[in-house]
Amino acid sequence: MGLLNLLFKDPIAFILIAIPLMYAIIFHELAHGWVAYRMGDSTAKSLGRLSLNPLKHLDPVGTIMLFVFGFGWAKPVPVNFNQLRDKRKGMIAVSSAGIIANMLLAFSALFLDRLLSPAPSGMLTLLLYYFAKINIILAAFNLIPLPPLDGSKILMGFASPSIQSYLFRFERYGFFIIIGLLYFGVLNPVINFFQWMILSFINLLLP
């Protein structure tokens, strides 16, 4: 179900999902640009993309798709890998940054929920839950090693030129393969594993 349907059926639930989803995507893209900047590429900074302003990141088509179908995207932060001080390590670090940012945000939301429990109101608990869940889903989704997702660029950082070329050839089919994987729920075990991993770590910190 798209978010547009949810807006008419349950406006509060819409806000609780739409705002965390928007900022989970923004932090994901911001992390790519910030790590690239730290490693020598100032492209994102020069274009004003190192910002929390949603207007800097939201893609019109991706936003419409998100609201209508519940699946969308933001404008990718531009990165010139040739400007990185170490192209191979830079590709891995920059591509991993968004995934790591989402995992840290998910951890922070679940940790705060556990720390405040049972004090938080029902709405705050829901907000923290949705924010954590959305970030976990984004992290798992972007780990798929298919172009144009981050997982493919991480793999390219470790791969030989011949494998990199092979992955590039997949880019024209990547979107359709990704849609198929989502439709058949292939990511569900990964999402459940990430959530279990975060909660297990929190249990160690807050027994």
User: Each residue of 109-152: pLDDT tens digit?
Assistant: 999 988 887 665 677 787 888 889 889 988 988 898 888 889 98
Rounded to 5 degrees, φ, ψ at 74 are: -105, 170
Which residues are CB-contacts of 5 (< 8 A; sequence separation ≥ 6)? none
Cβ(27)–Cβ(102) under 8 Å?
yes
**Given 6, 29, 152, 153, the catalytic residue:** 29
Range of the domain at 13: 3-205
Instruction: Give this prediction's pTM.
Output: 0.86
pLDDT at 160 over 90: no
**pLDDT over threshold 90, residue 174:** no
Q: What is residue 58's DSSP assignment?
A: B
Residue found by looking up tokens 């990165």 in the block:
79
Query: Does the annotation mark 29 as catalytic?
Result: yes
User: What is the spatial distance between Cα 27 and Cα 71, in angstroms, rounded to a whole number?
Assistant: 18
Looking at the structure of the chain, the number of domains it has is 1
| Over residues 173-187, mean pLDDT | 76
